Each structure stands twice: as C-alpha cells, then as structure tokens.
Chain A
C-alpha cells in the first residue's frame, strides 16, 4: 500500500490546481498553512480529493474534507483512511 506524504500532497496540488507565484509550497510552514492562504479554494480541494481517491484507491465520502483547513489535516485524514484500507 502506498504511503502518503506531504510531498505527495504538494505534487498533487501542483498538478491538479497549480501554484501561484507568491505561494511557496516548499516553505517550512506549508503543512500548517490554511489552504485559503495557499491560494486554494473549494474547487482545488475537490480536485485534490478526486486525485487522492483515484491514486490511493480510497473512498472519501462527500463533505469529509469539505471543511479541512490545512495540509496537515488532509495528511492525517488520508493516513487514517489508508490504515482502514489495510485492515
């Protein structure tokens, strides 16, 4: 089963929703910066969810990540889902 790291999250965000010039995804505070402050809106989060579901073969029910604030929260959620899938 694949691992899901902050680098994976960065990669998926870059490919799916792009990065604005003023945004630094590689900065040290990335994991705890709000998606809104990184320039990502509700569509970007939906695209992220779709891509994670496809790439990692997990189902993310509607609304589960709708109010997620930061990359760290997504990381924790996906880790939990991946653990679920393993057992």
Chain B
C-alpha cells in the first residue's frame, strides 16, 4: 500500500478535562455551554495577578490508578494514562496485539511534568533557600519529572508498545502536532495503531507566575466563570487550564478488519512557523493561513468543503484577531459562512494538551453533528466578525471540520478531520 492508501482514523477517545470525568462528561459540558473556570484551588493564588483557572476534579485512585502509579507519575502523567485507558476501552482494541512493534505512541506536552518538578524543587531547595539543592531529599522518580518524555513512556507501558514512542513539545500546538505525527507514522507504514494525544497539568505557581509576568492570562478574578472570553470585546487574556485527551488512531483497513467504529478520519494536517516572535503574532495571520492552505491541499479539499472551524480562540486580543485574519485569508468567503467556535471559553487553555482536547471535541462533533459553542461571547469584538456560535451549542450538518492551533515559539498548525464516510477524491 502507498502512503496515500494508508488512511489514519480515530477509533477511540479518552479525555480528562475540567468539569467532568471522561469523554461523555466532557462532551456534555461542551454541548451544555457550561464553563469549568473557577478560582484556583490547586495552590493558593493569593498574590498572583491571575487567580482563575479551569481545573480538573481529578481523583487518581478513583480514576483507576494504583498507589504506585500515583507515586511514580506527576499529575500530567496521571491524566495521560487515565485518558489512554479510556480511549483503548472505547475503541475495543486489544493492545499490544499480535505485533507490539506496530504499536506506537505520540504524546504532546508543552510543559511536561512541571508540577512534579516544581513540588520537588520546593523541597530540595528548602523553599528556594539553597541553590545547591539537597539531593538527599530527592524522590526515586525525580528524573522522570525532569524529562517530559516520561509522559510518552507511561502511555507506552500501558499499551505494551514496542514501536516508535515520541513526546512532541511544540508549545501550545503540541497536541495537534502529536496527532499529526501519529498520522505520519501510520501513512509511512511504520505503525498500524498509535495512541496519540497530549497532556499538561500546568496549574502550579511557576507556570502561573511566568504568564503573570507577561500579562498573558486574565486578570478578571472577580467573575471566574466568565473569565475566558474568546472573540469577546471584554476579554483580557487567556485562562489557564489542564487536562489530557488521548485517542486510538488506526490504519483504516486494519480498523475495518476488526470491526471498529470510526469517529473520524484525519484528512490533512500541516504546520508552519511564523519566525516572527516567540510570543507575538503578526496581525495578518499569514503563516496560520499557509498552514490551513497546505492542510486543505493535502486533504484534497477546497475551502467550501469545510463545515466547521474549531478555533484556537485563546481569548487574547492578539490571538483572536490574528486567527480571524488567518481564516479569511485562507478560506475567503467561506470563513464568513461556517460556524467557528472556541472551547477554551469553557475548559480554559491547557497549553500543549488543548490541541488534543480540541481534536477529541471535533471527533465528537462529527459523530453527534453538534457544534460546541463559544461561551461568554456576549459583546463581540468588532474586529472579530465571523460566526463564533455564541453561548449555545448548535446542531449542524458537518462532513469535514478544521482545527487550528497557535503556540509560543511561533508554531501554527492546522488539521482537517472528516466523517468516516468522507473518502478523499482519488485523483492525486
């Protein structure tokens, strides 16, 4: 089979998200338009500029992890493993199956095991007193927190995978890029099954402080439930979130052979970098538009074929305008015709993880034919003039959807998903 014949499909979805346990609670939250943002409880946010976040009510033991797994993994690892188990159960696949070498893992994360790393730092440095941190207080798995690759290792062990295992870390596009990497592995023939997704648990003082320092996060502390306001004129920065989505991505024919139910096919993806600024975006959206154009080209689709756009929609003025410009630049008139929404309005911005949660939302949207809304959008920014599906979910006929991401470092990624019946044209 040639790469173009090896098609990558999603057959299982697992999610650990703010506002509910598992995939179904996640979808309920999104379609109800409920927000999971609140005053930070995972640490004392007093003294911080931004004191709001979307937190997961996550009990690792109740989620099926063993005490040793809980000790060994930091929060981001726990999220990923729980999401992976749900995805595998959902897909009905037996892993590692007959050939573990054909099972791969591709997990994205922007900040890795920061939470564990910081907690241990606080102890080893005795509250920041000692530059020469005291190794005698080191926990056995300390190095596992130092390297983000641990997150992919943990998922790989769950699956018994012996194929390629990667941790992709491209800031806030990590999730999309990790899923894109999985598609590459399937198309090139390296793997038949990939557990792919992303995880981040950045709700710790050091991450909150670094976003405070650049005033990227919201200072709207008095009204946490309405603090994440993508495309709204009253937005003032993003709201940090946390979570993980992991998906079972399979080669279509082998998925069919075992009778799997397919959520969606990944029809095309592409990444571009703006080479402009580590955090800044050019208002014209040029590189994101190019990523969208190439993703459509690879999917052999035209702008008119796109039925819904799952936006990056972080809720910073800079992003929302950049992105709106990119949609118009790449899709032309179609940008004004399709619904566009940002689920960050409900579950915040979980950095590298969010791309995986957004792809999970796209897969669910295709299955249920419902567009999740942009919550809190009551006074639109006049410069953001598309149909952002304010407040209420919408039933909508969708065959193909576009999801985009934008990350620190200049990364811009676009991915196109289609309903399982949507075969690409045969012409190359």
Contact = CB atoms under 8 A, between A and B. Distances in A.
B213 A41 contact: no
B215 A41 contact: no
Contacts of B279: 42-43
A3 interface: no
- The majority secondary structure among interface residues of chain A is helix
B278 interface: yes
A50 interface: yes
Task: Report, as a range, how many residues of chain A touch the other chain.
Answer: under 10
Contact of A46 (B215, B219, B277, B278): B215
Interface residues of B, number: 8
Given A46-B213, A46-B214, A41 B219 contact: no
B278 A62 contact: no
B280 A62 contact: no
B417 to A, nearest CB: 35
Interface in B183-219: 213-215, 219
A41 B277 CA distance: 9
A41 B280 contact: yes
Interface in A15-64: 41-43, 46-47, 50, 62
A22 B263 CA distance: 55
B104 to A, nearest CB: 37
A62 B277 contact: no
Contacts of A62: 215, 219
A50 B215 CA distance: 11
Interface in B207-233: 213-215, 219
Nearest to A63: B215
A50 B213 contact: yes
Contacts of B277: 41
Nearest to B212: A50
Interface in B258-307: 277-280
A1 B258 CA distance: 76
A70 B279 CA distance: 22
A42 B317 CA distance: 14
A41 B280 CA distance: 9
B276 to A, nearest CB: 10
B69 to A, nearest CB: 39
Contacts of B213: 46-47, 50
B191 to A, nearest CB: 40
B4 to A, nearest CB: 43
Contacts of A46: 213-215
A46 B213 CA distance: 7
A45 to B, nearest CB: 10
Contacts of B278: 43
A52 to B, nearest CB: 13
Nearest to B49: A62
Contacts of A43: 214, 278-279
A62 B278 CA distance: 21
A50 B214 CA distance: 9
14 contacts: A41-B277, A41-B280, A42-B279, A42-B280, A43-B214, A43-B278, A43-B279, A46-B213, A46-B214, A46-B215, A47-B213, A50-B213, A62-B215, A62-B219
Given A50-B213, A62-B219, 12 more contacts: A41-B277, A41-B280, A42-B279, A42-B280, A43-B214, A43-B278, A43-B279, A46-B213, A46-B214, A46-B215, A47-B213, A62-B215
Interface of B: 213-215, 219, 277-280
Interface of A: 41-43, 46-47, 50, 62
